[in-house]
C-alpha cells in the first residue's frame, strides 16, 4: 500500500511561520529552501516566500513567513503564529542557550497564546554542531515529553544544504497528515475515532460480509485508494507481516479487522501517516475524522413550522439493523449492543444528556425496538443533519431525500383543518413542582424518581396507539419555568410545537396561578407571531386533596379562552386519563383548542367590525354604480325618444 501523490486534503495552501531566537538561522533557512543555495548576505527578515505546488508530492503550495524576535515586533509575531498552519521553531546547534530557551520561553509562550498549529522544532547550523553533544533523540526526548504539541524534530544545515527541504516537508506533512487525530503517542495506539472510521471502511470493503478482506477485496481497496493494483506476491507479503506480528489478524478468508487496524498502526509508527490519511480521505473523511460536508448536508432548507420525519424506507432499514445487533435475541438492545451498532460512527450520538433518558428501557437498561425508533425519530426532529450523518455511519446507503420527508407547514395544516404528520412535538409548561417531569417519566413507563438530573432540556419520545389503531410518535419537551421568557424571546420558538400542555398542581392555588400566567404568555406569543398552538390544561396530583379555588378558576379560564376544561391525572395512581392520546388528537386538529386571550378577542372583534364596514362600503358602492348606470340608460332612452 502506498500513498497517492495528490492533494486529497483539499487545502489551497499551507502557511508555515518560522520563529526562534535571533541568530539561530531562520532567514538563512528560508533563503536556502527557496534558492537551494546558502546566502552570503541575509536580510534581518525575509519577505514571504512561496514554494510551488509541485515542490513536494502532495502538490500543495507552501507560504513561508519569516519573523523577527525583537520585543517591538512581538505583537506581529503572535499574530503570524495565530494565523499559521504550522510553526517552525528554530534553535542553533552550536548555541545550547538557544536550545534551553525552547523550554524556558518559546514553547510556554506558544501555549500562552493558545497556538493550535503543530510545531516542528528545527536545529539549524548542523555543520557547527559539537560531536560531543548528545544525539537529537536524547536532546529532544524530555522536551517532547513535556510539550506534546511538538510534531517532530529535525536538524539541518543551510550552509551544507543538509535536510533543508525536509524541514518544510515535515511542516507540510504535519498539516496535511497530522498525527494527533490518528494516534495516541502516550498509549502508542490508534485513537478511538480513527478506529471507528477504519472499521467502517473495512465493513464497506468486505463485500461478502464474512469478516475478512479476501485477496480480491484487498485489491479493490488498493485500487480505490491508491489507483494501483497489488500483485499477488505483495498481498501475500502484507498478510505474512500481519500474521507474524498478530496471528489473529489473518484467517482462512483473508485479512481480519484486527489485522487491518494493525497495518494502519504500523504505517503510523513508521511515519507513513499519509497512507492512512489517503485511505480516510478517499472514503470522505476530513481532518476531524468525520465525513465531509459533501457527503453529509449540514443544513436542511425548510420553514420554521415544517419538521423532518423518517421515511418508511429508513424505518425498515433501522428495524433491520436493530435485529442484526440484537445478538441475544431478547428484542432489546443493551448498552453494549448499542455501542457496537454505533462503533463505525465518530461516537455514540446517544450518550449526551439529551438522548440518554428520552426513551423507554427495560429493567436491564435495554432499548426496545419502539424505544430505538423513538430515539432516531427525536434525533431527526431536532437535528436532521446529525441524524442523516449517523445513518450513513451505520451503513445506510440512500440519499437524504430517501431517508427523510419534510412535513407540510403547520399554518397550511390549520387552514386545511388536518395534518399528515406522524410525529408530534408537545411543549410541557408548568411551575416548578407541578408534575412536569412526572408526566414525562410516566410516558416512558418510569417512576418520577427514575429521572436523571440534567442541565439541558428534558425530552421523552414514545409511540401512542390511537383509538382507530393508528400509531403516532409523540415527543414531550419539558420547558423549565425559568426558561420560558428566553424561549418566547425567539419569534419562531413555537413554530415546531404541535401542541402545548400546561401542568399545575391541582391542590395548590398558587401553582394554578403560575400555570395560568404561562398559558396567557404562550397564547399571546402565538397570536402575535402567527404560530398559534393547540393547548391543554392538565390538573396533576389528582390523588391529593384538590384546591376548590384552583378547580373553579382553571375551569373558568379554560372556558373563557375557548379550550378544553382541565384534564385531571394522577401519576401516583397511574390514572392518566388517556392524556397522551388526547395530546395527539389535539395536535391532529391544529385549528382547534387554540386559546384566545382578551387582547386576541379584541383584535378579532375589531377585524370582524372592519370587515363588516368594508362590506357595507362595498355594497353601497355597488348600489351607487348600478344607480349611475341605470340613470345613464334612462337618459339615453329619453334623448332618443325626443
Give the pLDDT confidence of 71-88 residue by residue, as tens digits: 999 999 999 999 999 999
Closest CA to 342 of 309, 367, 364, 370: 367
**Closest C-alpha among 384, 362, 360 to residue 374:** 360
Q: How confident is the model at residue 43 (pLDDT cuts 50, 70, 90)?
A: confident
Query: Can you say whether residue 297 is alpha, beta or left, with left for phi > 0 and alpha for psi between -120 and 50 degrees?
Result: beta
Residue 642 pLDDT grade (very low, low, confident, very high; cuts 50, 70, 90)? low
| Domains annotated on the chain, with CATH | 14-176 (3.40.50.300), 189-290 (1.10.238.10), 297-406 (1.10.238.10), 420-596 (3.40.50.300)
Residue position matching grid coordinates 414525562 = 440
pLDDT value at 49 more than 50: yes
* DSSP H or E run through 404: strand 404-406
Tell me the backbone φ, ψ of residue 518, rounded to 5 degrees. -65, -40
The predicted pLDDT at position 627 comes to 59
Residue labelled with grid coordinates 546547534 = 93
pLDDT (mean) for 411-419 = 95
Instruction: With CA atoms as reference, report the closest residue to 380 among 449, 473, 292.
Output: 473
pLDDT score of 603: 73
The CA–CA distances, whole Å, from 22 to 27, 77, 91 equal: 10, 13, 9
Per-residue pLDDT at 628 exceeds 70: no
Handedness of CA 382, 385, 388, 394 (dihedral sign): negative
List residues bridging with 124 in a β-sheet.
92
Kindly report, residue by residue over 392-410, the tens digit of the pLDDT: 999 999 999 999 999 999 9
Secondary structure (H, E, C), 148-169 = CCEEEEEECECCCCECHHHHHH
Sequence-separated contacts (24+) of 239-245 with Cβ below 8 Å: 241/266
Q: Which H or E run includes 424?
A: strand 423-429
| C-alpha span between 134 and 136 (Å, rounded) | 7
Full 3-state SS string of 285-325: ECCCCCECCCCCCCCCCCCCCCCEEECHHHHHHHHHHHHHH
Q: How far apart are CA 307 and CA 377, in angstroms?
A: 11
Q: How many residues are present in the chain? A: 642
> Which H or E run contains 255?
strand 254-256
Sheet holding 423-429, edge to edge: 458-465, 471-478, 423-429, 499-505, 535-540, 567-568
CB 26 within 8 A of CB 18: yes
Q: Which distant-in-sequence residues (6+ apart) come within 8 Å of 386 by Cβ? A: 349, 379
φ and ψ at residue 526, rounded to 5 degrees:
-65, -40
- Cα 476 from Cα 498, distance rounded (Å): 10
The residue whose grid cell reads 417531569 is 437
* E strand or H helix that includes residue 553: helix 548-561
Please measure the distance between the N-terminal and C-terminal CA atoms of the chain and give it in whole angstroms: 111
Residue 181 DSSP symbol? T
Kindly report the number of other CB atoms within 10 A of residue 356's CB atom: 13
Whether the predicted pLDDT of 620 surpasses 90: no
**pLDDT higher at 497 or 624:** 497
Q: What is the pLDDT of residues 322-366, one digit of tens each?
A: 999 999 999 999 999 999 999 999 999 999 889 988 999 988 889
- Dihedral pair phi/psi, residue 354, rounded to 5°: -60, -40
Furthest CA-CA distance within the chain: 136
Task: State pTM to two decimals.
Answer: 0.82
Report the share of the chain in percent with pLDDT over 90. Answer: 79
Q: What is the pLDDT of residue 4?
A: 42
- How many Å apart are CA 92 and CA 125, to the nearest integer? 6
Amino acid at each position: 500500500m502506498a500513498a497517492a501523490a495528490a492533494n486529497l486534503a483539499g487545502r489551497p495552501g499551507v502557511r508555515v511561520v518560522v520563529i526562534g531566537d535571533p541568530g539561530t538561522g531562520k532567514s538563512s533557512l528560508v533563503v536556502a529552501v527557496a534558492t537551494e543555495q546558502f546566502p552570503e548576505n541575509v536580510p534581518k527578515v525575509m519577505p514571504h516566500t512561496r514554494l510551488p505546488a509541485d515542490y513536494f508530492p502532495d502538490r500543495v503550495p507552501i507560504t513561508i513567513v519569516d519573523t523577527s524576535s525583537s520585543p517591538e515586533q512581538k505583537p506581529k509575531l503572535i499574530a503570524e503564529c495565530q494565523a499559521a498552519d504550522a510553526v517552525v521553531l528554530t534553535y542553533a546547534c552550536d548555541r545550547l542557550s538557544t536550545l534551553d530557551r525552547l523550554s524556558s520561553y518559546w514553547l510556554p509562550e506558544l501555549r500562552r497564546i493558545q497556538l493550535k498549529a503543530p510545531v516542528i522544532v528545527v536545529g539549524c547550523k548542523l555543520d557547527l554542531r559539537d560531536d560531543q553533544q548528545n544525539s537529537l533523540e536524547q536532546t529532544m526526548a524530555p522536551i517532547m515529553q513535556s510539550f506534546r504539541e511538538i510534531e517532530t524534530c529535525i536538524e539541518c544545515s543551510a550552509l551544507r544544504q543538509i535536510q533543508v527541504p525536509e524541514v518544510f516537508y515535515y511542516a507540510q506533512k504535519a498539516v496535511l497528515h497530522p498525527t494527533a487525530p490518528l494516534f495516541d503517542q502516550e498509549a502508542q495506539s490508534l485513537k478511538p475515532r480513527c478506529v471507528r472510521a477504519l472499521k467502517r471502511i473495512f465493513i464497506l470493503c468486505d463485500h461478502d460480509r464474512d469478516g475478512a478482506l479476501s485477496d480480491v477485496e484487498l485489491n479493490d481497496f488498493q485500487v480505490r485508494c491508491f489507483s494501483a493494483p497489488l500483485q499477488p506476491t505483495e498481498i501475500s507479503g502484507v498478510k505474512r507481516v500481519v500474521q507474524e506480528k498478530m496471528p489473529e489478524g489473518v484467517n482462512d478468508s483473508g485479512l481480519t479487522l484486527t489485522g487491518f487496524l494493525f497495518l494502519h498502526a504500523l504505517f503510523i509508527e513508521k511515519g507513513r501517516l499519509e497512507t492512512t490519511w489517503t485511505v480516510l480521505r478517499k472514503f470522505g473523511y476530513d481532518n476531524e475524522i468525520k465525513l465531509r460536508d459533501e457527503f453529509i448536508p449540514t443544513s436542511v432548507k425548510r420553514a420554521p413550522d415544517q419538521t423532518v420525519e423518517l421515511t418508511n424506507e429508513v424505518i425498515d432499514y433501522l428495524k433491520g439493523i436493530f435485529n442484526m445487533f440484537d445478538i441475544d435475541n431478547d428484542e432489546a438492545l443493551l448498552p453494549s449492543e448499542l455501542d457496537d451498532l454505533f462503533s463505525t460512527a465518530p461516537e455514540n450520538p446517544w450518550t449526551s444528556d439529551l438522548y440518554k433518558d428520552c426513551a423507554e428501557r427495560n429493567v436491564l437498561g435495554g432499548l426496545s425496538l419502539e424505544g430505538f425508533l423513538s430515539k432516531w425519530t427525536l434525533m431527526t426532529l431536532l437535528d436532521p443533519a446529525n441524524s442523516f450523518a449517523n445513518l450513513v455511519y451505520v451503513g445506510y446507503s440512500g440519499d437524504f431525500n430517501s431517508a427523510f420527508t419534510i412535513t407540510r407547514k403547520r399554518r397550511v395544516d390549520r387552514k386545511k383543518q388536518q395534518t399528515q404528520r406522524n410525529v408530534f412535538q408537545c411543549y410541557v409548561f408548568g411551575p416548578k413542582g407541578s408534575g412536569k417531569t412526572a408526566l414525562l417519566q410516566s410516558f416512558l413507563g418510569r417512576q418520577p424518581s427514575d429521572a436523571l438530573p440534567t442541565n439541558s432540556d428534558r425530552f421523552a419520545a414514545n409511540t401512542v396507539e390511537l383509538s382507530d389503531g393508528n400509531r403516532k410518535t409523540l415527543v414531550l419537551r419539558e420547558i423549565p419555568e425559568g426558561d420560558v421568557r428566553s424561549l418566547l424571546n425567539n419569534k419562531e420558538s413555537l413554530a415546531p410545537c404541535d401542541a402545548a400542555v400546561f401542568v399545575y398542581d391541582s391542590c395548590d392555588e398558587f401553582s394554578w396561578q403560575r400555570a395560568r400566567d404561562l398559558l396567557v404568555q404562550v397564547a399571546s406569543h402565538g397570536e402575535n407571531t402567527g404560530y398559534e398552538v393547540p393547548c391543554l390544561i392538565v390538573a396533576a396530583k389528582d390523588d391529593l386533596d384538590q384546591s376548590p379555588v384552583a378547580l373553579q378558576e382553571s375551569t373558568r379560564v379554560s372556558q373563557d379562552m375557548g379550550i378544553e376544561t382541565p384534564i385531571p391525572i394522577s401519576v401516583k395512581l397511574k390514572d392518566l386519563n388517556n392524556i397522551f392520546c388526547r395530546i395527539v388528537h389535539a395536535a391532529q386538529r391544529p385549528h382547534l383548542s387554540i386559546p384566545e386571550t382578551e387582547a386576541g378577542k379584541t383584535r378579532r372583534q375589531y377585524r370582524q367590525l372592519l370587515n363588516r364596514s368594508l362590506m357595507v362600503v362595498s355594497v353601497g358602492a355597488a348600489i351607487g354604480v348600478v344607480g349611475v348606470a341605470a340613470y345613464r340608460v334612462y337618459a339615453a332612452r329619453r334623448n332618443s325618444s325626443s
